[in-house]
Amino acid sequence: MKKKCVLLALCILVLTGVSVAHAAVYNFIPKPADMGDLEHTYYFSWNIYASGLRGADVTSAQLTFSNIWDWTVEPDMLYVHLLDVPQTSGQLVRFNSYPTYWSTLYRFNDNELTSGDDWAGNPLLGTWTDPMGGQATNFNLVIDFDENQLQALENSVADGNFAIGVDPDCHYYNSGVTLTVTTAPVPEPATMSLLGMGVLGLLGLKRRKA
């Protein structure tokens, strides 16, 4: 009976005695937040450097373009990609630093006479065209990463660095861009220690019984 009580106490200690870290949620915002209204004469690399994501298990990601609309009625297309390697060969628009990450926004001259996707060949996150044009409609373009895109993002953030590539084939006004990334919880060091103690205790009881 005494051994059973000790075993039960060890189990309770391991399961409830300590807390497990909550999932981490990262919100990334470029500077300027609207990426300069996404002019057609440029395409952009929004480079993100977040050491906290290094080797993380990414469970969800969402990219939002708030209140986005094409400046006039015309054929248009917005291309959005995931870039494994941040691109820095263009013109630096802004450097942005926060406590948990820092980012840069680079733009590249888009000399195409016709529409086209300058980031083609990189994982595509989504495309969008304004069904109206010429006026704001308070529409938020939300891109939820699917399973394959999440895996590509997780592979990209293995070293903590990745980028979002945007090619606007027309001029898109918007109220700001936000990338939200959620990672799986990681057990606290104390939890792992107590788990080890529990296992050792169980082994000790087993040996004594033998």
Q: How much is the pLDDT for 10? A: 43
* Per-residue pLDDT at 16 exceeds 90: no
DSSP alpha helix (H) spans, 127-181: 147-156
Which residues are bridge partners to 130 per DSSP? none
More confident: 208 or 143: 143
pLDDT digits (tens, 9 = 90+) for 111-156: 765 679 999 999 999 999 999 999 999 999 999 999 999 999 999 9
pLDDT in tens, 189-204: 544 454 555 545 545 5
Residue pair 149/125 in contact (Cβ under 8 Å)? The answer is yes
CB 64 within 8 A of CB 28: no
Rounded to whole angstroms, the Cα distance separating 108 from 118 reads 10
- Taking all residues of the chain, what is their mean pLDDT, rounded to a whole number? 85
Q: Alpha helices, DSSP H only, in 27-178?
A: 147-156
Residue 166 β-bridge partners: 44, 80
For residues 78 and 199, the model is more confident at 78
Instruction: Give the pLDDT score at 29.
Output: 97
Rounded CA-CA distance 108/93 in Å is 10
- 46, pLDDT greater than 70: yes
Please tell me whether residue 33 adopts helix, strand or coil conformation.
coil
Q: Which CATH class is domain 21-186?
A: mainly beta
58 band by pLDDT with thresholds 50, 70 and 90:
very high
Q: Count CB atoms within 10 A of the CB of residue 207.
A: 8
CA angle 117, 45, 181 (to 5 degrees): 105
The predicted pLDDT at position 1 comes to 54
Mean pLDDT of the region 101-105: 97
Q: Any bridge partners for residue 69, and if so which?
A: 173
pLDDT band, very low/low/confident/very high, at 14 (cuts 50, 70, 90): very low
**Amino acid letter, 34:** D
Res 18 pLDDT > 50: no
The residues with which 165 forms a beta bridge, in sequence order, are 45, 81
